[in-house]
Amino acid sequence: MTKVYCNVCPADCPASCRMLTEVQNGRIISINGDPRDAYTKGTLCAKGYAYPERIYASDRILYPLKQRGKGSGKWDRVSWEEALEAIATKLIAIRENYGNLLPVCLDKYMGTTGILSHSVQGFFHSLGPVTQMIGTPCVAAGTDAMSLNYGKCQKPAPEDMLNSRLIIIWGANAAWTVPHQMRYIFEAQEQGAKLIVIDPILTATAARSDLYFQIRPGTDGVLALGLAKVLLDEDLLDHQFLTKHTYGWPEYKDYLATVDLQEVSEITAIPLTDICELAHLYGTSKPATIWIGLGLQRSLAGGQNTRAIDSLAALSGNIGKAGGNVHHLSYEYLTYAGEYTRLQLPSGIAGISDQQIPKDRIIGTGRFSELANLDPPLELLWIAGRNPVSQDPDSNKIKEVLRKIPLVVVADQFLTATAQLADYFLPVTSPFEFEDVVISYWHYGAAMNEQAIAPLGECQSDFAIMRQLAATLNRLSPGFSSFPTERNAEEWLDRELKPHLYGLLGITHYQDLRDRYFRVPLPSVPWQDYRFSTPSGKYEFFSLHAEKYGLTPLPIPDFQPSSSVAYPLRFMTIHSYASLNSQFSNLGNLRSLEKLPILYVHPETARLKNLEQGSKVKVYNQLGEIEFHTALSFTIPRDIVVTDLGSASRNYENENANALLRFSETDLGHLFTGYKGISFTNCFVNLKKVE
Amino acid sequence: MEQRGFLFNPNRCLGCRSCQVACAINHGLPPGVFLRKVTEIEFIRDKQIVKYYLSSSCNHCQNPECFRNCPEHAYQKRRDGIVVQDQSRCKGCGTCTRSCPFQAPVINPLTSKVTKCDFCHGRIEEDENPFCVASCPVDALQLLNLSTGIDIVLKLQKELPGVPRIQLTRPSVRYIPLQLGRQVGLQVGENRGDEHN
């Protein structure tokens, strides 16, 4: 007897694909795309198809574990009661010793985007003030940039690209990270639209473009200023829009007059004639849209870079028009969610009243060195939906800090690089084992996960874990947690979605989401009324708000650091089709697509370093060294070497790429999420052949 | 006799490997055993990089070498042109894996027998696409009936640049001609235009 269940992928990805899960005798026999999904048209990515392997993976942990010494690898199976009682006892002791719970820290992020997972933050709020790591390593700088220019970050519907005559993908490899979007782009191309890709690497996406520009990393804002200058010089401007609906145009215009195009060409490594051609194409193809990716904003000047690129849409009059605008991820839909979701990353702390902000001690995401020097010190760290050792800069420093924290709890499905340094490992259910709701931050589709199978082993959802911990705490110390333990997951989800989202989606209960594709009905073309949410009510080239945050009010990026003699090569990690950050890359089917940790090297650079195709090579800098196998490619510049995210950590015991990355902040991010973003593109290394 | 085949569009393939993994998982193959594979083709031509992805499986050849060489006569060519292999006859000798110019048949280590793409003919008979075709997010892979002459009408090609030309077995796959855009700022050496994959 086979039954089909509706599911949705909760991975931190724009597509949030609906899936159909076939179950026979309590076991999943297949997972495929749901053809009713209006965005994906029923297809999944390679990772999505590999879900059955992930659910039943032999290395998935199904029972709570306690480690005899962090990093020892000596794990003992314990009961939930034992694990939670030990954690609860520690929490109670901390409050007794310190008089508060500030020595307790939560590091939770987007390992699952399901609404129910916000109950983890809900639990910690129920304890009173604690320490929380907030902010986002993902879209902080870009979200701030958009918010400065427009007042808030709004985006067109993804399908609006079908209306574009010109699509510029700037710093994104959609073919591997949002493959479904390429369907709309190809359709637009077939209707005559041109596709332009700007990227330091000739990616799978760039390979399909009509025009590709190999830009020097981090100089995107400089290129944008150059393009703006050409638009000005050639009078490819929308004067009416500039006069009526923008603030600071005279100042911006004066600045652009000082931009030296020859210098722009030298900084960006793009020939002058090609800069002019690109500006001309953008200025004359109407409507034209720009998709600002995540890559370029994770550089030191990522925020100002994004503001400068975005300003092109204002100059050319593409704002508020179908087929125009700028596409950027947006968490706007979260402003319609209930109280716990709104308090959460990555929507951050903006837009909620002071009373709602708990009096937590706040640490920026990824700032692990700060965690080690707190007063009162940290006694307990809870990590959920997050793998900082793999994903945050300076992995070895993070490991060192984790070793020093007396009690580290990791809730996950696998023994990740971070979990290996936990004292307690709590096994979390896969999305097919509990009911939840996921809303896409790209197409705003809302879908639910039905419980297709019983939890494997003793796995529990994050929600069930928190609820049980709250109950344990209150048994040992009545009134310790105000978490509503009497409320089940269904009630929790219902209360979270009811106030706003039910009305917007036109449903009466979240289980209605099973029946067909639903989308939060935000405008498919934003800013049509030209009413911007900035202090001036206009689109702002000149932002006093930016000035308040220590930036130039105009979108002028700071200069970038460059390589040194000792470390002449920039080391970049890119997202692969075979992994999502550190997720999925442990699966046999995906690992076998690329068996070895690969380092892509330009053939000329390889020749200088005596490397050949397949050579073993050591990548090193001040922070450490990692071994790779060389793959030669002309698709990258000579001064860059590239690996894919997850490649180095293909084997958990191996080092990972971020071990070589020093922590540095982007220029923006603090406005919207409370903390600046993290720069991932300024890692410089050298190579040595391993004989 | 009919001849079914694949139509592949290199201008759409993203190299995302959805087809490869959807096929393997839905056929319950052990991790790392694939009946369809996506490979990247990359070489220099006229100071531009020719880069695209090729998704390929059994080509259900009109003159299949597997069929001709199998000592157990495990292979059959169906009336619709699909080449199928009978697991019960296969002794796992590997003759077909060595004789196929496309390395389409592979040994399944779980059974020690050869397995290969069967065009998901069971699904086709139920009016569903093979897993590979159904999973492509951009319709880069489609089905084709070569008996209709549509390949000639659509000016489809039998080969792609940078891929060895193998026509002896008359593979039942056709390609949309590859189109390339213009690339600005590439660092391809003046004298280093030698092709490499």
Q: Under the phi-then-psi rule, with left for phi > 0, alpha for psi from -120 to 50, and beta for the rest, what region is B60?
A: left
Closest chain A residue to B181 measured between Cα atoms?
Answer: A210
Per-residue pLDDT, A586: 86
Per-residue pLDDT, A215: 96
Chain A neighbors of B162, CB-CB under 8 A: none
Question: DSSP secondary-structure letter at A207?
Answer: G
A39 interface with B at CB cutoff 8 Å: no
Residue B61 and residue B171 in contact, taking contact as beta carbons nearer than 8 Å? yes
A202 interface with B at CB cutoff 8 Å: yes
Count of other CB atoms within 10 angstroms of residue A257 = 10
Per-residue pLDDT, B194: 40
Residue A288 and residue A316 in contact, taking contact as beta carbons nearer than 8 Å? yes
The verdict on a CB contact (< 8 Å) between A179 and B138 is yes
Per-residue pLDDT, A358: 58
Say if residue B31 is preceded by a cis peptide, omega within 30 of 0: no
Question: Given pLDDT bands bounded at 50, 70 and 90, which one contains residue A631?
Answer: very high
Instruction: Please name the member of A53, A208, A593 whose beta carbon is closest to the beta carbon of B25.
Output: A53
The fraction of chain A above a pLDDT of 90, given in percent, is 83
> Residue type for A337, please?
A
| Burial class of residue B103 in the structure, from the number of CB atoms within 10 Å of its CB (0-12 exposed, 13-18 middle, 19+ buried) | exposed
Residue A136 and residue A391 in contact, taking contact as beta carbons nearer than 8 Å? no
CA distance B115 to chain A (A): 17
pLDDT at A571 over 50: yes
Token output for B73: 């006569």
Find the mean pLDDT for residues A634-643: 96
Instruction: Please name the member of B11, B34, B42 whose beta carbon is closest to the beta carbon of A208.
Output: B11
Closest chain B residue to A22 measured between Cα atoms?
Answer: B26
Find the mean pLDDT for residues A295-322: 96
Chain B neighbors of A591, CB-CB under 8 A: 31-32
For A224-233, A576-585, B114-123, which range has the lowest pLDDT when averaged over its residues?
A576-585
CB crowding A396-423: b at 16 or more within 10 Å, else e: ebbbebbeebebbbbbbbbbbbbbbbbb
Question: DSSP secondary-structure letter at A560?
Answer: P
The H-assigned helical ranges of A138-178 are: 140-150, 174-177
The Cα–Cα gap between B129 and B121 comes to 9
pLDDT at A175 over 80: yes
pLDDT at A648 over 70: no
pLDDT at B196 over 80: no
**Which A-chain residues 84-143 have CB contacts (< 8 A) with chain B?**
none
Chain A neighbors of B27, CB-CB under 8 A: none
Which of A577, A636, A639 to probe by mutation at the B interface, max B CB count within 10 Å? Answer: A577
pLDDT at A652 over 80: no
The verdict on a CB contact (< 8 Å) between B20 and A45 is no
CA distance A57 to chain B (A): 11
The Cα–Cα gap between B95 and A101 comes to 69
Angle at B153 between CA B147 and CA B156, to 5 degrees: 85
Question: For residue range B9-51, what is the model confidence (pLDDT) as tens digits?
Answer: 999 999 999 999 999 999 999 999 999 999 999 999 999 999 9
Per-residue pLDDT, A550: 87
Chain A neighbors of B181, CB-CB under 8 A: 195, 208-212
Segments of A269-386 assigned E as strands:
288-292, 326-327, 361-364, 380-384
Per-residue pLDDT, B1: 79
pLDDT at A647 over 80: no
Question: For residue range A72-93, what is the model confidence (pLDDT) as tens digits?
Answer: 999 999 999 999 999 999 999 9
A593 interface with B at CB cutoff 8 Å: yes
Q: Scanning the structure block, which residue is given the tokens 């020892």?
A: A72
Chain A neighbors of B161, CB-CB under 8 A: none
Per-residue pLDDT, A341: 60
> Residue type for B145, please?
N
Per-residue pLDDT, A335: 72
Instruction: Please name the member of B14, B53, B186 whose beta carbon is closest to the beta carbon of A182.
Output: B14
CA distance B46 to chain A (A): 13
Find the mean pLDDT for residues A543-564: 88
Question: Given pLDDT bands bounded at 50, 70 and 90, which one contains residue A353?
Answer: very low
Instruction: Please name the member of A213, A589, A613 whose beta carbon is closest to the beta carbon of B184.
Output: A213
Per-residue pLDDT, A616: 94
Per-residue pLDDT, A588: 87
pLDDT at A110 over 50: yes
CA distance B95 to chain A (A): 24
Q: Which of A387, A305, A302, A292 is CA-nearest to residue A658?
A: A387
Find the mean pLDDT for residues B48-64: 97
Instruction: Please name the member of A46, A52, A212 whose beta carbon is closest to the beta carbon of B16.
Output: A46
Question: For residue range A419-464, what is the model confidence (pLDDT) as tens digits?
Answer: 999 999 999 999 999 999 999 999 999 999 999 999 999 999 999 9
Per-residue pLDDT, A122: 87
Q: Which of A522, A382, A324 is CA-nearest to residue A87?
A: A382
Chain A neighbors of B51, CB-CB under 8 A: 202, 207, 635
CA A414 to centroid of chain Cα atoms? 20
The Cα–Cα gap between A524 and A521 comes to 8
Kindly report the pTM of this predicted structure: 0.96
Size of interface A-B (CB pairs under 8 A): 151
Residue A87 and residue A409 in contact, taking contact as beta carbons nearer than 8 Å? yes
The Cα–Cα gap between B158 and B174 comes to 5
Question: Given pLDDT bands bounded at 50, 70 and 90, which one contains residue A564?
Answer: confident
